[in-house]
Amino acid sequence: MAAEDAVAMKNKGNDAFRHMDWPAAIEFYTKAIELNDHEPSFYTNRAQANIKLEAYGYAVADATKAIEIDPTFAKAYYRRAVANTSILKHSDAIHDWKMVVRRNPSDKLAKSQYEACQKMVKRDAFLKAIEIADAPSAAVGLDLESMVVDDSYDGVRLKDEMTQEFIDDMIERFKTGKLLHKKYVFQMLLAVKQIVYEESTMVETRVKPDQQLTVCGDTHGQYFDLLEIFRLNGFPSATHGYLFNGDFVDRGSWSTEVCLLLYAYKMLFPSNFFLNRGNHETDDMNRMYGFEGECKAKYNERVFKIFSESFSALPLATLIGDKYLVLHGGLFSDDKVSLDDIRKLNRHNQRQPGHEGLMMEMLWTDPQTMPGRGPSKRGVGMQFGPDVTKRFCDNNGLEAVIRSHEVRMEGYEVEHNGKCITIFSAPNYCDSTKNRGGYINIDSSHELSFHQFDAVPHPDIKPMAYANNGMNSMMGM
């Protein structure tokens, strides 16, 4: 009887999965496993739902369990390969892709993934071999003065300073699929790179009387949804500041448009418009999730390289009114880490976050409901409980930590007894998640108000359209 009940739970999970309700699907698959923990397909189904939620660490664990039960089960190797590829563990994934191809030689998608993974492993080794600690900037030899914007360019011209007129024209250009002239792109990238380079690793700001600051989470190349935030909440101005908390790019297929618009506002309001770095403002993620390909398709490789340099110059956190620490991922593996440690962190010595250390944790960690610390569900970093958050806030005189990095179905979530707030600003993430977006307004008394919004229509360009490594095809699995 238990076996029949388990199958019934699996079927309910499949139904929830078809309706894109990934959390409910996981719940049903878990019940099926509790009733019968010797059926490998229950684990691979749950692995696929975890992949949809970007819980790649959990997906690897489930697929591994399925392989332990049935070492011949090709789908388990497939799921584990997808999960490891998604977190850039190509050397782990390549063995599983090989197993899938060996067992299903007619599977063209698996074969293409195996070949793509082989290329990525070789590319990673090549990039590591040629890595230079103090590599010259991609801007060396770039002569903006000699770049001519010919008469056929139909946009507003950018002089030495950013103007509202240029931004308004840029917004409309991007809506209709037009690009900026490369001269202006380079000009903006170099200007913003210099502005953010000179900012502290942890920017410290207060909301002045008669002003407002809005905190937004991940926007992930969803340009038309970014414009919806501005339409509903007001465009940036001298009295209305914004803080975008990382992950401006990747996945969505208007990442250059999102980032250039944010950079334009940073130029126009440098002391009132803030940008924190996210885990997707990094080279390895950009190569995997589409931003590099988008830059090359819309502009050129040099644009991507200077974008990369600007990302590595971004601050890692913002302290608002001595009350709220805003950072992309979350807290730390060591209770002794303080705001002073963040202040002292020289982010310019380490362009990419690596696999350990303060920078990696600030970009990658996630909250959990259980006390203490635990392994990361996404397979990178770790998770921290409500007691960890309380100690950090108490030790540093904070009311709460505001972070992003994860989809929240309602656009935001207040957890850890009010001390950990997640804000996510990419509604209907990847055109499939059906979540709302959120943003937080902070007034001069430093009180928070939460706002939600829904996704708006956009041109028919799919997420990951510029990913050239097979990730776009894997997303539909």
Average pLDDT, the chain: 94
Quick: pLDDT tens for 195-240: 999 999 999 999 999 999 999 999 999 999 999 999 999 999 999 9
CB 367 within 8 A of CB 393: no
Quick: pLDDT tens for 51-89: 999 999 999 999 999 999 999 999 999 999 999 999 989
User: What does the pLDDT read at residue 76?
Assistant: 96
100: left (phi over 0), alpha (psi -120 to 50) or beta: alpha
User: What does the pLDDT read at residue 125?
Assistant: 80
Q: Calculate the alpha carbon distances from 429 to 382, 409, 460 in Å.
A: 23, 10, 15
Residues 6+ apart with CB under 8 A from 33: 6, 39, 42, 43, 46
Beta strands 400-403 and 420-423, pairing class: parallel
User: What does the pLDDT read at residue 476?
Assistant: 45
Catalytic (active site) residue 280: yes
User: What does the pLDDT read at residue 470?
Assistant: 55
Residues 6+ apart with CB under 8 A from 231: none
* Helical (H) or strand (E) element with 35: helix 22-35
> Taking the model in full, what pTM does it have?
0.93
CB atoms inside a 10 Å sphere around CB 462:
12
Strands (E), 311-356: 317-320, 324-327
Query: Residue 209: exposed, middle, or buried by beta-carbon count in 10 A (0-12, 13-18, 19+)?
Result: exposed
CB 281 within 8 A of CB 275: no
Backbone dihedral angles phi then psi of residue 345, each to the nearest 5 degrees: -65, 120
Instruction: Kindly calculate the radius of gyration of the chain based on its CA atoms and give it in whole angstroms.
Output: 23
User: What does the pLDDT read at residue 8?
Assistant: 96
Low-confidence ranges of the chain (pLDDT < 70): 1, 130-134, 468-477
Catalytic residue (one of 280, 328, 405, 416): 280
Q: Calculate the alpha carbon distances from 235 to 97, 214, 229, 269 in Å.
A: 47, 10, 8, 12
The maximal CA–CA distance of the chain, rounded, in angstroms, is 78
236 vs 225: CA distance, rounded Å: 15
User: What does the pLDDT read at residue 134?
Assistant: 67
In the beta sheet, which residues pair with residue 439?
216, 451
CB 435 within 8 A of CB 428: yes
CB atoms inside a 10 Å sphere around CB 438:
26
357: left (phi over 0), alpha (psi -120 to 50) or beta: left
Quick: pLDDT tens for 384-405: 999 999 999 999 999 999 999 9
> Domains of the chain (ranges plus CATH)?
2-130 (1.25.40.10), 144-475 (3.60.21.10)
84 vs 108: CA distance, rounded Å: 20
Residue found under tokens 């401006």: 248
Residue 87 tokens read as: 């977190």
